[in-house]
Structure 1
């Protein structure tokens, strides 16, 4: 059975001490004994009791003096003191409470009264002690919270300074980038303008030279060179119309290219053109190569695919598959041709140029079917311009 607590009994009469010891021990308490005030103080130095039963009248240091000394010591100040005395005057009882006592039992006492009052005050003492500990923890927590709030406030101030500084840096950087982008935009426009002008000069020179050539083979070479330069010119024109100067609208480019080739070769009647694509635009590197390829294929169809007075159809399909491959198909409903022959128009030479461009620039494959008209299928992957601009 565990102890209910430790009680210090202080009385100069050994009989009283023995009686209280017996009562308390039988009711589950541990008992410390002292036969005078100083002896009680000395006993508390070694072990602090949970409650003290203190006689009022003792020789030397009486009960009041002893209680005052106990309350003056931080170790025993909170320990409840119950006076036990034969004095019955109200003034004696008031004196006991004034000096720090929590209760007063008159002699002769009843054991039930002693046990009841000891247990009650011991319960109050423990509740008070528990409350004091919780208050102490709460105060400690409040102090820690105050410290954390101070640290947080200091950190917030520092963070706000960092944010303001970083915001200013970003504003300055954005202003510099805006100026730089405007300068680059002006530079890019100027470069495209000069390139376009130079391409137009070259086209004009080729066209002028073509008018003075009587040899059909030389004329065919000049005309092919003219059309290839026009491909680059058209691409640069479309770049100048684009927002980012890095991509070209596929359908617009093919339409303009077709019109240029029809005008250059004077096809009559003019073939109809069908364009099918699941892409809006392509980067400049791929588009230059594909433009040169389409120039060869479409010009071959315009020049050689259709019999006189026959309305032809040219279809250009340019799609991207689910696995990321690009498929360019140029087909016509013309007469077809026997690959490996070289007619006067140079059809086979044009296809060889196409194969060379596909292999060297696109790292792709070329398939030609001339059973019903001519269909050229080119398959390749967009490798981010890795090979496209290699001369």
Structure 2
């Protein structure tokens, strides 16, 4: 289940491991990314500088090569006006042709006289026939300077971009002509750019002093190539100068390094695409995620195994405690582990064993007590029954004795005594019928008292007795004196209240709570009433004295008498009232004709 001890341990641990591995992977990725960017910046700067240096050195070599070539004797002889000049020219054509075949970076090599006309060329078909005396390189070399073109020009013969290198041909410290080397720019791409561009992580571009694109990657430029253009196209030199000033420019998708070839004023641009740069890092990140996933899975499996090892005995303890809680105290955990959980299991088994013994002992004692209570209950019921029978015997003896007495007053005294004893016997009869043998219901008890009095005292008249009572239990100490008091009150009503109107005699008894801890009993009749000013506490009659003594002294209550369409006696007794039902229980008793 979700809130088990294993899950409480497992879920946070897995969460922390996943978060930790994710954070480690992210940190590793960012660190590797930054480190790789630094290395890439250094790399492309180095590539740009090395490429610029290599091109500069190579051009220097070609410059030296042209200069040394022009110092050879056949070149001087071909420019002199002698019979050997024509032979030298033919020889040079052959030698220069072999040279451009051997050195494929030359498109052509030309020997030009001071008039600007070509006297010997390596490839006669690739040389223009017009005079070159007006060309800038011719004018500068004629002055004794060595010329290296800073701008790439287009070959009139092939239409390809070429670089011009020109050197004066000297004879006895005198310039007699010019040796012009026409170098294929595309050869620079094969020699210097392609080895770099083949890596595909960096792309190399070269621009001349006017921003004309000299060389670019052999592959199709991607949309990330900010200098993507066709050879012969140019870019704004301001942009190149800004890049040269910064050295490295960081774009949204690229990193660009700039380096200048001072000799010719060219600019080498090396571009690295971020996606290609970060490809190894992304691969490392994927590998890190895979390793992290494997580690997390391994740790989760290990944690689950450990958690199961810990939680299994705990679950056994919980299951065993549930069975013990359901009453199976003979169940034992029997854990064999030697750790704390094993100690708990042994303690639980010991507790269950002792608890089982204690409960067995308690059950045995309870059985003995139950048996003893049953015996006492039987004895008590027998005692109540015999007491009731003895009182009935006394009543019978008094009744027999009264039959021998002719005096009406004595007979009345005998009957009243019989009724008082009958009230006490009713208490024992009710106790014998009660379940707890110590309390009886006051309503049922007073109903039987009233019924007995009506049956014994009315002969030719009719008295209706109505009782309204709450279900209230009272003990024997209150039941006997209360029954005697009610007996005296009803006896007085039957004897004296209905002399003038026996045909409509009614006695009403109401039992209800009066105040917290007190009970109110009202006994009212519709008879002639009692003499005015009578005080029950000072009355001289035996019945009134019984009522006063029992109410005031034994029951600890009060008694009041009112004359209102008959006589009303109100008793207030300090008895706790435990009401079972809020409804009043109404009982009607009608007796007549004895």
Q: TM-score, normalised by structure 1?
A: 0.59
Distance in 1, matches of 2:285 and 2:501, equals 125
2:487 to 295, 304, 310: 295
Match of 2:560 in 1: 367
Identify the match of residue 334 of structure 1 among 521, 527, 530.
527
Q: Are 1:137 and 2:303 an aligned pair?
A: yes
**Match in the other structure for 1:76:** none
1:146 to 307, 312, 333: 312
1:93 corresponds in structure 2 to none
> Structure 1 residues 228-237 or 283-292, which shifts more?
283-292
Inter-CA distance 124–289: structure 2 relative to 1 (3 Å threshold):
same
Partner of 2:508: 315
- Which residue of 1 is the match for residue 144 of structure 2? none
Give the match's secondary structure for 1:271.
Answer: strand
Looking at structure 1, the residues matched to 565 and 515 of structure 2 have their Cα atoms a distance apart, in angstroms, of 28
SS of aligned partner of 2:379: helix
* 2:399 aligned with 1:233: no
Other structure's SS at 1:335 match: coil
Alpha carbon RMSD of aligned pairs, Å? Answer: 4.1
Alignment match of 2:293 (pick from 91, 116, 127): 127
Q: Does 1:189 align with 2:381?
A: yes
Which runs of 5 or more residues in structure 1 are unaligned?
A: 8-20, 29-109, 385-391
User: More deviation in 375-384 or 326-335?
Assistant: 375-384
Q: Is the 8 A contact 1:340 1:348 kept in 2?
A: no
Residue of structure 1 equivalent to 2:550: 357
Give the secondary structure class of the aligned counterpart of 1:368: strand
When structure 1 is superposed on structure 2, of 329-338 and 157-166 the one drifting more is: 157-166
1:382 matched to 2:575: yes
User: Could you tell me which residue of structure 2 aligns to residue 70 of structure 1?
Assistant: none
Distance 1:341 1:154 in 2: 78
Cα separation, partners in 2 of 1:140 and 1:290, compared to 1, 3 Å: same
The one-character-per-residue Cα deviations of 1:114-137 (angstroms, maximum 9, x if unpaired) are 545444433333333333333333
User: Does the CA-based 8 Å contact 1:330-1:376 persist in structure 2?
Assistant: yes
Q: Could you tell me the TM-score, scaled by structure 2's length?
A: 0.41
Q: CA deviation at 1:383?
A: 4.1
- Seen in structure 2, the aligned counterparts of structure 1 residues 249 and 134 have a Cα distance that, compared at 3 Å, is closer
Closer/same/farther in 2, CA of residues 347 and 261 from structure 1, 3 Å limit: farther
Q: Which has the larger radius of gyration?
A: 2
**CA gap 1:318/1:152 in 2 versus in 1, 3 angstroms:** closer
The one-character-per-residue Cα deviations of 1:189-242 (angstroms, maximum 9, x if unpaired) are 210122112212333444455456677776665544332111101222233334
CA deviation vs aligned residue, 1:277-322 (integer Å, no higher than 9, x gap)? 2337654443323211111001111111122673222222223358
| Rounded Cα–Cα distance in structure 1 between residues aligned with 2:419 and 2:282 | 119
Could you say what secondary structure the match of 1:372 adopts? coil
8 Å contact 2:522–2:570 — kept in the other structure?
A: yes
1:40 is matched with none
Show the 5 A alignment for 1:164-183: 172=364, 175-183=367-375
Aligned twin of 1:305: 497
Moved more, 148-157 or 330-339: 148-157
Tell me the distance in 1 between the aligned counterparts of 2:464 and 2:281: 118
Give aligned pairs, total: 287
Residue deviations 1:141-197, cap 9 Å, x none? 222222323444565676632486677556545643543343123112210122112
